[in-house]
Amino acid sequence: MKAVWWWWICIAVAAQVSMATAGEGNVTYDGRSLIINGQRKLLFSGSIHYPRSTPEMWPSLIDKAKEGGVDVIQTYVFWNVHEPQPGQYDFSGRYDLVKFIKEIQAQGLYACLRIGPFIESEWNYGGLPFWLHDVPGIVYRTDNEPFKMYMQNFTTKIVNMMKSEGLYASQGGPIILSQIENEYQNVEAAFHEEGAAYVKWAAKMAVNLGTGVPWIMCKQTDAPDPVINTCNGMRCGETFGGPNSPNKPSLWTEDWTSFYQVYGAEPYIRSAEDIAFHVALFIAKNGSYINYYMYHGGTNFGRTSSAYVITGYYDQAPLDEYGLLRQPKWGHLKELHAVIKNCSTPLLQGVQSNFSIGPLQQAYVFEEGRGACAAFLVNNDSRGNVTVQFRDNSFELLPK
């Protein structure tokens, strides 16, 4: 893959200032970002799945993510391992979700809990318990009463468990976001009007659980208010149509750091530069939350993977299957995070503008009233280097 580079400038950055009157521990949002404890936040997140590693690994994985400039750990919740039989639950060992979330909290990071409970995730049966298959009259993931009953029961079980441990940010815990369903728009049209009804039901059901933090739906342009629709993919700065309301922020829940591998296939190698370029582009276009999927892929133990997926999951992530740093990906993204965070004041509070600086070149500029400025300069020409002028300075930009 051809290397891709991004040039940026950060000038006269001022201190972060509170942007809202949200109460202590409260998480809200506006059209620019999530707002935590009254402050707008620009957040980098990394997916680490607790069943794909061991409890002994969790502290090291989270610590390395933190050192790499990650603010949030994101994980799915795996219904079929937690409820192997109806009403019988397992949260032991690798499935100890509470312990995992508490380790995130102990290291001073936030958490994003993607409950689903359908998760896909290249996981056996997409995370759905196989016993659902035997429920009379059930149709999965649509406006079907048997499915909705079991889905609501499990979602409520997880939310109440998190509440009982005080793990939502509204209780002083680390969980700042929850997700209901998962990439449902991929199949919604097949269910016709029942698909749209199911989306509305799922959103209302989740919000009514009263977590005190926002809910998201990924790849769901019709996510009902107040649920935030988010982007998944490799190039959301180019592909995301944006929030479905001007009052919602632009969030990227899956920035694919490589791709899952199936038996007999070659590993997909995505360069550190390509990842960094598209992260910067997403932020330049008002993005304020980027999650790397995966930051640590880990291992599909036993028969937990979906068909043809190998035991090593996203081994080309910033942390490889065994939790070791994969360079230059880990270090390159760490440097990117540091630069972006140094510019957080104008990025979150500044007046935005963008304009052409050449036939295929663009500048995205954020200026804050006290003189702080951040500018992203992009060369969309893949044929070669170009020299551009910006504020009486010349910059040579590599392709892309």
Peptide bond before residue 117 is cis, with ω within 30 degrees of 0: yes
Instruction: Show the CA angle centred on residue 183, arms to residues 179 and 184, nearest 5°.
Output: 100
For 362, residues 6+ apart whose C-beta sits below 8 A from its C-beta are: 354, 355, 356, 377, 378, 380
Query: Which CB contacts under 8 angstroms, 24+ apart, belong to 393-400?
Result: 395/7, 397/5, 397/7, 397/361, 398/3, 398/4, 398/5, 399/2, 399/4, 399/5, 400/2, 400/4, 400/5, 400/277
Tell me, yes or no, if 194 is annotated catalytic.
no
CA 145 vs. chain centroid, Å, equals 30
- Residue of 165, 183, 194, 335 marked catalytic: 183
Beta-carbon count within 10 A of 85 CB? 9
- Residue of 103, 181, 254, 368 marked catalytic: 254
Tell me, yes or no, if 183 is annotated catalytic.
yes
Peptide bond before residue 328 is cis, with ω within 30 degrees of 0: yes
Beta bridge partners of residue 388, listed in sequence order:
395
DSSP string, 242-289: --SSTTS-EEEEEEESS---BTTPPPP---HHHHHHHHHHHHHTTEEE
Where do the DSSP E strands lie in 54-197? 72-76, 110-116, 175-180
For 114, residues 6+ apart whose C-beta sits below 8 A from its C-beta are: 74, 75, 76, 77, 178, 179, 182, 253
Query: Cβ-count burial of 264 within 10 angstroms (0-12 exposed, 13-18 middle, 19+ buried)?
Result: exposed
Six-digit token pair at 367?
């200026």
361-367 vs 351-358, strand pairing mode? antiparallel
Whether the CB-CB separation of 290 and 279 falls below 8 Å is answered with yes
Annotated catalytic residues are: 183, 254
